[in-house]
């Protein structure tokens, strides 16, 4: 799908690949799977200016381009998932500030995020509110000088390492009893704590947050009261398609591992790559991953060109890419046979890492609903 890329974008992808092979791979080998973000990785990503992809040029960034974010995630995810997740969370936590923040808020937070000095995250999901955003129970009430926030957030990536969190909470209005608002919370605010770290099948920094009469200064409100749902959905429009890009990267890593193993594994006197059953698996994997890459790039190009009707394209990219990548990893493991389920093997790790992508930022089932509703409105 590189024919869809300009010369500049092709060079950017090559730069990402060089970073991944020369810098990120040694870091991955050194730290392995971890719940803690390696400081060395954050520093390397900052020096390579990955976080500046998330900032407008007027704040020292490279301009927010969906396609470049997708290209970066595709490459990073195929090498080291903590790096991919960190880029994603820096984006999810900074984009609401870019969308709705005032000049003071942008100047206070965005340059530090771009330099990797400040880690951030995005807190929408709750124990009773995953796909159903209207089920959010966290609520913020106006109080002298700001707001009092009470509630919990769950499955918050990079939540232990993050210095600030974008939190969405109910702020009922007369015209909308279910209105949400978005706030910037800083670690250390009274009543705000990381209540627990959550162990998952593919380790990464995942936590639950708790707010008990947490006072939020009024200047930490993003946009106007009731703007939260719009901010949340516009942010997801961009980063949902980039989940598809990360899935393609993981799927491509699985295909590469399967191809290499099939060439060296001998059964019945011949490498298994010579058998049609294995060849058909490799062919299906490569075809589906190319199709997924095309959907992701198309959605990103539409966004970069100013297409406002993004929900369907973003959901198609996320749905197809995550499902296709899961099938690719599963087939790669099958090609490896018993070696594929050995703890510590590449495909065993990829098998655990790919699974969550079909769930977070909207399950595959939710993506199908979004696509269907968009089609029915056309």
Please tell me the total number of residues recorded for the chain in this structure. 378
Residues 6+ apart with CB under 8 A from 265: 271, 272, 337
Dihedral sign, Cα of residue 274, residue 279, residue 281, residue 287: positive
pLDDT for 4 beyond 90: no
pLDDT for 2 beyond 80: no
Helix (H, G, I), strand (E, B) or coil at 196: strand
- Its pTM stands at 0.95
- If one compares 177 and 205, the residue with the highest pLDDT of the two is 205
CA of 168: how far to CAs of 21, 78, 127, 214, 221, in Å?
A: 37, 31, 14, 14, 10
pLDDT for 307 beyond 90: no
pLDDT for 16 beyond 70: yes
Q: What are the tens digits of pLDDT across the range 48-105?
A: 999 999 999 999 999 999 999 999 999 999 999 999 999 999 999 999 999 999 999 9
Diameter of the chain by CA atoms?
Answer: 79
Domains, in order of start, for the chain: 2-118 (1.10.540.10), 121-224 (2.40.110.10), 229-377 (1.20.140.10)
Residues designated catalytic: 361
Q: What is the mean pLDDT of residues 305-315?
A: 89
Residues 6+ apart with CB under 8 A from 112: 118
Q: Tell me the residue ranges of DSSP E strands in the chain.
A: 120-123, 139-143, 146-157, 164-170, 180-186, 192-197, 206-217, 221-222, 266-267, 270-271
Please report, for the chain, how many H helices and E strands are present, in that order: 11, 10
Choose among 85, 60, 59: nearest CA to 72. Answer: 85
Q: What are the tens digits of pLDDT across the range 265-301?
A: 999 999 999 999 999 999 999 999 999 999 999 999 9
- If one compares 134 and 264, the residue with the highest pLDDT of the two is 264
Q: Radius of gyration (Cα) for the chain, nearest Å?
A: 21
Q: Using CA atoms, how far apart are residues 161 and 118, in angstroms rounded to an integer?
A: 9
Within 10 angstroms of residue 29's Cβ, the number of other Cβ atoms is 9
Helix (H, G, I), strand (E, B) or coil at 222: strand
Helix (H) or strand (E) holding 255: helix 228-264
Q: What is the pLDDT of residue 310?
A: 87
Q: What is the pLDDT of residue 378?
A: 84
Q: What are the tens digits of pLDDT across the range 103-118?
A: 999 999 999 999 999 9
pLDDT for 308 beyond 80: no
Q: What is the pLDDT of residue 198?
A: 96
Alpha helical stretches, state H, 265-359: 276-304, 311-336, 346-355
Instruction: Check if the beta carbon of residue 228 is closer than 8 Å to that of residue 181.
Output: yes
Q: What is the DSSP letter of 61?
A: S
Helix (H) or strand (E) holding 344: none
pLDDT for 1 beyond 70: no
Q: How far is CA 237 from the centre of its chain?
A: 12
Q: What is the mean pLDDT of residues 170-174?
A: 93
CA of 16: how far to CAs of 12, 28, 62, 84, 131, in Å?
A: 6, 15, 15, 12, 33
């Amino acid at each position: 799908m590189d024919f869809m890329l300009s010369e500049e974008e092709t060079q950017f992808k090559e730069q990402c690949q060089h970073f991944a092979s020369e810098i990120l791979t040694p870091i991955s080998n050194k730290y392995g799977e971890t719940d803690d973000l390696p400081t060395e990785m954050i520093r390397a990503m900052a020096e390579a200016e990955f976080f500046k992809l998330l900032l407008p040029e007027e704040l020292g960034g490279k301009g927010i381009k969906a396609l470049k974010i997708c290209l970066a995630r595709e490459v990073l995810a195929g090498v080291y998932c903590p790096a991919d997740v960190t880029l994603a969370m820096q984006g999810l936590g900074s984009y609401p500030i870019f969308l709705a923040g005032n000049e003071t808020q942008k100047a206070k937070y965005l340059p530090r995020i771009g330099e990797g000095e400040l880690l951030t995250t995005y807190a929408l999901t709750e124990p009773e509110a995953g796909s159903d955003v209207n089920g959010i129970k966290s609520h913020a009430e106006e109080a002298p000088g700001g707001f009092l926030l009470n509630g919990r957030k769950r499955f918050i990536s990079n939540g232990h390492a993050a210095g600030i969190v974008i939190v969405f909470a109910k702020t009922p209005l007369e015209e909308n009893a279910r209105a949400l608002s978005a706030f910037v919370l800083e670690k250390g605010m009274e009543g705000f704590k990381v209540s627990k770290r959550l162990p998952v099948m593919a380790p990464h920094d995942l936590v639950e947050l708790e707010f008990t009469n947490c006072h939020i200064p009024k200047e930490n409100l993003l946009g106007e009261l009731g703007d939260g749902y719009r901010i949340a959905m516009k942010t997801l429009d961009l980063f949902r398609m980039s989940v598809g890009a990360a899935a393609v990267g993981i799927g491509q890593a699985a295909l590469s591992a399967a191809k290499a193993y099939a060439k060296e594994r001998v059964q019945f006197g011949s490498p298994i790559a010579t058998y049609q059953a294995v060849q058909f698996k490799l062919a299906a994997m490569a075809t589906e991953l190319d199709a997924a890459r095309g959907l992701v790039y198309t959605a990103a190009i539409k966004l970069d060109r100013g297409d406002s009707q993004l929900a369907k394209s973003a959901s198609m990219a996320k749905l197809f890419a995550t499902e296709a990548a899961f099938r690719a990893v599963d087939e790669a493991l099958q090609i490896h046979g018993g070696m594929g389920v050995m703890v510590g093997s590449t495909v065993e790790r990829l098998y655990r890492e790919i699974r969550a992508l079909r769930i977070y930022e909207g399950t595959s089932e939710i993506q199908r609903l979004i696509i269907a509703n968009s089609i029915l409105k056309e």
